Structure 1
């Protein structure tokens, strides 16, 4: 029997572990089960190189046993095992990690994210987050090895004695503390294992030995012999995990149905994904995973994204921003990278150039997949576009390298419902003006004017598009996006006007100004190619963009928006018969028509406020009366 003190220059290791080591208590089970799986993996490795003998028919596993009445949780494996010397080396000395360094560096540290796993072998000690004492009983694979038992009550003292274990492997017994008795509930244990260990490479079983021969319920009835007439053969227990998750297979070995089933099971999303990317990289780093593109059909759907990060098939965390670029958080998927430099809790990453390389590689693979679909399945790509364009545009705004990789596969839906690239829309034109529609319903008159003149525009209806087109303008020399209601150069007749025409137009403008009485409104006369329209409202592109941008930032910037007044211009169509007749009308009728033309132009641009709509209806009735 040996007694001793754990090799650490402090008396308060365990309080620090409880406070700083992990953000969630349930992680203790992940650590202990993972250690059990590691022990089996090490044994298999030794056997493969002839340094250990194992029975080929042996079933390797990790078992979690719950003894609720005794308030014990037991984790056992049939892996490599440990000798007394190894327990002293790997448990007492905290894996040569220099725990005193850990204490000196992190005792006063408030940032949990800066702790480093791999430098400190503290995973086992997470057991003391939920247990008031812990026992290890282990028998090494080595010939002639003796079982060894380690016991510690959470102080700095331990006992190391001969053990009771007769079969190779390790048993860890946790005597659960009063404040952690929820971890004696089978449902809780299964939930934790499902969260963290659903894809570990060694089978994991849950047992409740106390419940094996009788069912417990509140009715007071003994169910022990209730099913004697049934087949007494006990059902084969099933592992709680899938030891060969889909991402560990080669893409060529996976079917579409398997990808879809995996998506449903992992993300509980019964809407089929659009498509997916299977990552399978061995060099320059080890990276595997599957990224799914869900249907993102509105701007806030990104909140529903979820990318699960694994380390050697052990779940680490969701949406780890250091590994997964922010814009990819709109996707759903799994990433497994065994070489990630994790911290003690396996939940946060160090600032590491290696991590940035992984992140860049994932971005590149996503861009490559999009380009591949565009080039090889253009029809499908166009079907996907309404769902993925928000993701792609957001990615371009957040990551310049991503933009450079996908800029040639960005497409735009036009007013006829066709999909075009920017080059296809411009079609070699010297003028690189790109007209767009932000609201097809309220801008329908402008759309009809464009269609009647054989002109085209693209539909950009989301708030993100405002930022996106600014990016494209910055990146693509000469390209200017203009909302369809901001200019009429392409739908008007720009022939030179003689002096007489100019004089008539000035008189017409003066009549409109006198009646409308709005000093901020610009009025001009153009000869629109469509003579059915009396007038249209134009709104300056740049001032409108600035105003929308400041409003989007909320109340803090709302005051700035007032600096950019709406630059409305009323364009009177000199080709329209009604505009031509205004000069022939008496003052009363002319004023009615002027107000009505103005309101019609405004209605075609945006809905009228309630008071103005009331006046519009009253005026409409007056005009109808004058006809009869």
Structure 2
């Protein structure tokens, strides 16, 4: 060919500023584009060879090289793919065709899988000008008798073409990096970027560094990628050890995953991958999941919400979907309806896996529940279809360390018009209430995670005539001792006297008081908290109100146990003017015990309680001494 100079056929003369500032959101994406082009060139060559239209060497081995020359300040990408003729350079480079694959697909329509072609030297090539002051191409086509071509441009609309001395089929793209992009000469950084995008590219990638003068021979490393990721294997051929090893390799998590889902489907779209359920060391780990999305084994992005339902982002995994409709930058998704179908299928596969575990290994499923419950609950609240698929396998851990479904928990209440689910929100704070339930052969479920206040409200909205009630918000029917209940008139009289007494003792005119006969005689009084005001307070915490919880007080009720003789004795003392001070002292002490049984006292109140305790001991010893 003869030397040639000219202007690029660009529809907008500002194409390069657009490329530099707008088209690519991350600077290192030019590496992804150039290596992807090399991979496409190799794929095309292999397809042509398979159809008998190209000849390959007997020892042909697909290869891509990333070459760093610090002395010349160049970064090069070299492949042994299809290469280009001078005419193809003019068409695909000078005319800036969006995809060199277009003509290829039209010519071989019906003979090859056009979904496998991302594009060959389209706008992706021009991303190299993001970091370069000059870009050159040396390429030799697979066609017999083709001449090698050299193309060069400095990032304006001018280019130059001339014969190249390249002797091997394929293409070499060389970038003379500008002063602001010298970071890409760092081989450690390059390795990190290449592994980010091409850790599983099907063709071997080698990272090479041209040594400076007098520093020995050029060294070639072993491939830096894994050309056969585990998701390409048939699930029945994979061992548990391989799944765990792959998990550790990709996510650098030293903990083994709980279990996994291997997706391997060809219809109605092509998608392969592995989704892992990680072991959570802390509840906040639920926000640290990562689903890596690939396109023909080329990394696209993490956690793309258009493809991966939001609640699944708590998990970790790799999904390779060659059918994804991507635009020119290979990142942004198009065809929303198609993507939604993919998203719906992923949701279905996850729900089906949970159903299978529940039905085939209920014991194992129960063991996993403490780790997976935030994910399942969040998924139910975010995706109606997910809830519909897993609602019957939501389990609850009980105070008896059992795991039950809602139907199993509510079985003893069968026939009741309105059913109640008693729950524990703080196992330490509500320990005395838990003991009461256990002593009376009652059960409650433990809902003490950050997501549970939201989940409780969600479940009530979904269930007909089922109410969730905290264990310290109501006296369960089985705890009441109906046989000891006084007549209505007597109970009303006792309540009026008790209200007056305990309000005075507690110095709280608005203290809510009730009287009940409980089966547990040893407990003189307990505190119950209003369910709705408690929920409002808990919800406010999740929205950032952690500084002053007193802004949202929870309404309390002091329940006096008439089965404990102390309560009736205190009321009688209160009616005796000479014993009134003793009654107030005792009532105040009972009230403090009830509060202390429910929560930790603030420092000032605790100091007063200790004073009362010391006074009580003094009175007891004085009385004993007098009687002696």
Tell whether the structures are fold-level matches, with TM greater than 0.5: yes
State the distance in 2 between where 1:439 and 1:86 align: 71
Aligned with 2:283: secondary structure?
Answer: coil
Give the alignment partner of residue 87 of structure 1, picking from 86, 89, 105.
89
Q: CA deviation at 1:178?
A: 2.1
Whole-angstrom CA distance in 1 between matches of 2:523 and 2:362: 39
Structure 2 residues not aligned, in runs of 5+: 101-117, 574-578, 622-628
- Contact 1:23–1:345 (CA<8 Å) still a contact in 2? no
Alignment correspondent of 1:247 = 231
In 1, the alpha carbon distance for the partners of 2:381 and 2:467 equals 18
Matched, 1:338 2:322: yes
Which whole-Å CA distance do the structure 1 matches of 2:324 and 2:521 have between them?
Answer: 68
Instruction: Say whether the 8 Å CA contact 2:71–2:212 is kept in structure 1.
Output: no
1:533-565 deviations in whole A, cap 9, x for unaligned?
101111111122123223432359989x95x65
Which residue of 450, 468, 471 maps to 1:484?
Answer: 471
Q: How does 1:121-520 map to 2 (within 5 A)?
A: 121-210=122-211, 214-215=215-216, 237-350=221-334, 352-427=336-411, 429=413, 430=416, 431-490=418-477, 491-494=479-482, 497-520=487-510
Q: Distance in 2 between matches of 1:475 and 1:427?
A: 18
1:28-63: CA deviation from partner (whole Å, max 9, x where unpaired): 111111111111111111111211111232222011
Separation of aligned partners in 1, 2:132 and 2:422:
67
Cα contact 2:295–2:322 (8 A) shared by 1:
yes
Distance 1:72 1:504, change over 3 A: closer
Q: Secondary structure at the match of 1:65?
A: strand
- 1:531–1:573 contact (8 Å) kept in structure 2: yes
**Distance in 1 between residues matched to 2:28 and 2:464, nearest whole Å:** 55
Deviations along 1:593-621, one digit per CA (max 9) or x if unpaired, are 10011011111111111111111111112
- 1:533 paired residue number: 523
- 1:579 matches 2:563: no
Match of 1:69 among 68, 71, 77: 71
User: Which residue is 1:552 aligned to?
Assistant: 542
Structure 2 match to 1:4: 6
Does structure 1 conserve the Cα–Cα contact (< 8 Å) formed by 2:98 and 2:123?
Answer: no
Report if aligned partners of 2:9, 2:95 keep a CA contact under 8 Å in 1.
Answer: yes
2:92–2:121 contact (8 Å) kept in structure 1: no
The 10-residue stretch of structure 1 (50-59 or 451-460) with the greater mean CA deviation from structure 2: 50-59
Q: What residue in structure 1 maps to residue 114 of structure 2?
A: none
C-alpha contact (below 8 Å) 2:150/2:164 kept by paired residues: yes
CA distance in 1, matches of 2:54, 2:79: 16
Distance in 2 of aligned mates of 1:310 and 1:21: 20
Higher RCO, 1 or 2 (CA under 8 Å, sep at least 6)?
1
Contact kept? 2:141, 2:169, Cα under 8 Å: yes
TM-superposed deviation, 1:477: 0.6
Inter-partner Cα distance in structure 2 for 1:554 and 1:278: 39
CA distance in 2, matches of 1:212, 1:362: 54
Check whether the contact 2:526–2:559 (CA below 8 A) recurs between aligned residues: yes
Instruction: Report the TM-score when normalising by structure 2.
Output: 0.90
Post-superposition Cα deviations, 1:262-313, rounded to whole Å, max 9, x if no partner, equal: 1111111111111111111211111111111112243321232111111111
Question: Following the alignment from structure 1 to structure 2, what is the Cα–Cα distance between the partners of residues 142 and 395?
Answer: 55
Deviation at 1:244?
A: 0.7
| Match among 522, 540, 563 for residue 512 of structure 2 | 522
Shift of 1:119: 12
- Write the distance in 2 (CA, Å) between the matches of 1:359 and 1:456: 39
Q: Distance in 2 between matches of 1:40 and 1:120?
A: 13
Q: Is the 8 A contact 1:67 1:209 kept in 2?
A: yes
For the 8 Å contact 1:308–1:318, the answer to whether it is kept is yes
Match of 1:30 in 2: 32
Q: 1:205 to 1:120 in 2, by over 3 A?
A: closer
Rounded to whole Å, the distance in 2 between the matches of 1:311 and 1:96 is 18
SS at match of 1:405: helix
Instruction: Check conservation: 1:296, 1:390, Cα contact below 8 A.
Output: no
- Maintained 8 Å contact 1:118/1:343: no
Segments of structure 1 that go 5 or more residues without pairing to the other structure are 99-116, 216-223, 225-233
User: How many Å apart are 1:120 and its aligned residue?
Assistant: 10
> Aligned pair in 2 of structure 1 residues 150, 477: CA closer, same or farther (>3 Å)?
same
**Alpha-carbon shift at residue 212 of structure 1 (Å):** 9.9
Establish whether residue 13 from structure 1 lines up as the match of residue 3 from structure 2.
no
Alpha-carbon separation, structure 2, partners of 1:261 and 1:212 = 42
Against the structure 1 CA distance between its residues 119 and 519, is the aligned structure 2 distance closer, same or farther, given a 3 Å change threshold?
farther
User: What secondary structure does 1:463 align onto?
Assistant: coil
**Secondary structure of residue in 1 paired with 2:207:** strand
* Distance of aligned partners of 1:184 and 1:498 in 2 relative to their CA distance in 1, 3 Å threshold: closer
Instruction: Report the TM-score, using the length of structure 1 for normalisation.
Output: 0.90
Deviation at 1:97, TM superposition (A): 6.5
Aligned mates of 1:396, 1:365 — CA distance in 2? 15
Change (3 A) 1:433 1:203: same
Separation in 2, partners of 1:51, 1:180 = 41
1:625 aligns with 2:618: yes
Residues 61/625 of structure 1: CA separation in 2 closer, same or farther (3 Å cut): same
Aligned length: 591
Contact 2:512 2:558 in 1 (8 A): yes
SS class of match (2:473): coil
Alignment check: 8 A CA contact 2:93 2:121 kept: no
The separation in 2 between residues aligned to 1:470 and 1:615, in whole angstroms, is: 39
Partner Cα separation in structure 2 for residue 301 and residue 487 of structure 1: 34
The residue matched to 2:557 in structure 1 has which SS? strand
Q: Tell me the CA shift for residue 428 of structure 1.
A: 5.3
